[in-house]
Amino acid sequence: MWQNYLFPATVQEALELLAHHGGQARIIAGGTDLVLQSQRGQCAATVMIDITRIPGLDAIEERDGYITIGCQVTHARIAASPLIRQKAEVLALACGSVGGPQTRNVGTLVGNVVNALPAADGAVALFALEAEVEMVDASGRRWLPIAEMYAGVGECTINPCAQLVTTVRFRPLSDGWASAYQRLANRKALALPILNTAVVVGLEDGVCREVRIAIGPVAPTPFRAREAEAALVGQTPDAEAIVRAARLAADAADPRDSILRGSRDYRKAMVEVLVRRALTEAVTKAMP
């Protein structure tokens, strides 16, 4: 595995270490995925740069109209955060469904994102929240829409040899907005999802102002069911409209056959069920 393990004190130092080791180094936070990748020969890095001791990256806070979550924040902290539970419930539920307590205690939301798996619970929720991530490299900092982080299954657009993600942010869900999370797995803990969906709904005068439906794994990246969303916007979200939207989501989903987690046709059928349930739940919660 790796031959050196370093704790930079600042983001700047982390970037310098990445540069110094010229492609041999990787950023590690919780390491719950990276350690296994390293053991299984899927990550050849010889230097681990542990960013969990850099000050200032461990906050969950609301500022300037955003909720921001630092890259050291674990799934467990998000799942338990009153702020997240109140203003981005879908993310708390998603993070609370990852693995088991020990994994959630160590694994981070940002790690979940940069691993770029299409069914990563936290990431699917962030798609529904239209989150942005702050990417830092030698040229500075910039905010990217979360969807731009993904190049394919397990492929993140972040250059692991030169860039790192410090923060995730999204708009809190205010009055008239609500979210829901649905997940199907082979057992109730310690299981990757067969299918998951995160839904955010904004209502105005009983009509959908905005709808966001994220689903995994039905595409190489977490998937937004745009046609389904569009079909609801401007509509009264009654049972019929929700069923129609859920069907559109299932039509658009393109899951693959997995011998361990479920066939394509089962997953496709379940998209309709989970999206319908999530929309129903979110709409109910969003009603005044």
Partner 1 sequence: MQLKAVGQGVQRLDINQKVRGTRKYPQDFNMEGQLYAKVVWSAHPHAVVKRIDTSVAEALPGVVRVITYRDVPVNEYGINIYDQPVLVAPRHLAGGGQGGGKVRWVGDRIAIVVAESERIAAHARDLVQVEYEPLPVVDDPRRAMQPDAPLVHENRESNILKHIVIRRGDVGLALAHADVIVEGYYTTHHVEHAYLQPDAALGFVDDESRIAVISSCQWPADDLHQIAHMLNLPEDQLREIVPAVGGAFGGREDMHIQHLAALCAFVLRHPVKIVFDREEVTQRTGKRHPFYMRYRTGATRDGRLIAAQVELISDAGAYASTSIPVLGNAATFALGPYKIPHARVDAYTVYTNNAVTMAMRGFGATQPPFGYESQMDKLAEVLGMDPVELRMKNLLDVGDIAVTGNVMTAETGVKETLRRAALAAGWREEDGHWIKPDLGTPSAPYKRRGIGVAVAYKNVGYSLGFEDKATAKVELALDESGEIARVVVKVAAVEVGQGVLTALAQIAADTLGVDMDKVRLALVDTSETPDAGSSSASRHVFISGNAVAGAAAQAKEKWQTILREETGEMHVEAEYTFRGRSVRPTTPFDPETGQCEPHISYSYATQIALVEVDVETGQTEILEFWSAADAGKVINPIMYFGQQAGGVHMGVGYALTENYIQQEGRPRARRFSEYHIPTVMDMPRQFESIAVESAPDPNGPFGATGLGETPTLPTAPAITNAIHDATGVWIESLPANAERVWRALRAADKL
Partner 2 sequence: MLLKMTLNGEPVSVEIEPDDLLAQVLRDKLGLIGTKIGCGEGECGACTVLVDGVAVTSCIYPAMKAHGRRVETIEGVAKDHELHVIQQAFVDHAAAQCGYCTPGFIMAAKALLDTNSHPTREEIVAGISGNLCRCTGYYQIVEAIEDAARRMG
Binding residue (CB under 8 A) for partner 2 from 51, 69, 90, 106: 106
Query: Which residues fall within 8 angstroms of residue 81, CB to CB, at 6 or more apart?
Result: 60, 92
Q: Contact between 262 and partner 1 (CB under 8 A)?
A: yes
Binding span for partner 1 by CB under 8 A among 18-26, 65-73, 185-193, 198-206: 185-193
35 binds partner 1 (CB under 8 A): no
Minimum distance from residue 14 beta carbon to partner 2 (Å): 15
The binder of 186, among partner 2, partner 1, none, by C-beta within 5 to 8 A per type, is partner 1
CA-CA distance, 82 to 216, in Å (whole number)?
26
Q: Which helix (H) or strand (E) holds 216?
A: strand 207-216
Which of 9, 36, 44, 59 touches partner 2 by CB under 8 A? 36
Instruction: Classify 176 in phi/psi space as left (phi over 0), alpha (psi -120 to 50) or beta.
Output: left
Contact pick of 140, 188, 205, 260 for partner 2 (by CB under 8 A): 188
Q: In terms of C-beta density within 10 A (0-12 exposed, 13-18 middle, 19 or more buried), how is residue 140 classed?
A: exposed
- Residue placing its CB nearer to partner 1 in the complex, 63 or 188: 188
CB of 174 to partner 1, least distance (A): 29
Least Å from the CB of residue 62 to partner 1: 32
How far is the C-alpha of 45 from the C-alpha of 2, rounded, in Å? 6
- Is the CB of 100 or the CB of 145 nearer to partner 1? 100
Which are the contacts of 60, defined by CB distance < 8 A and separation ≥ 6?
67, 68, 69, 70, 73, 77, 78, 81, 83, 84
Interacting residue with partner 1 among 22, 56, 100, 152 (CB under 8 A): 100
56 vs 100, beta carbon nearer partner 1 = 100
List 19, 161, 191, 243, residue binding partner 1 (CB under 8 A)? 191
d(CA 179, CA 198): 7
3 state SS of 255: coil
**273 belongs to the binding site for partner 1 (CB under 8 A):** yes
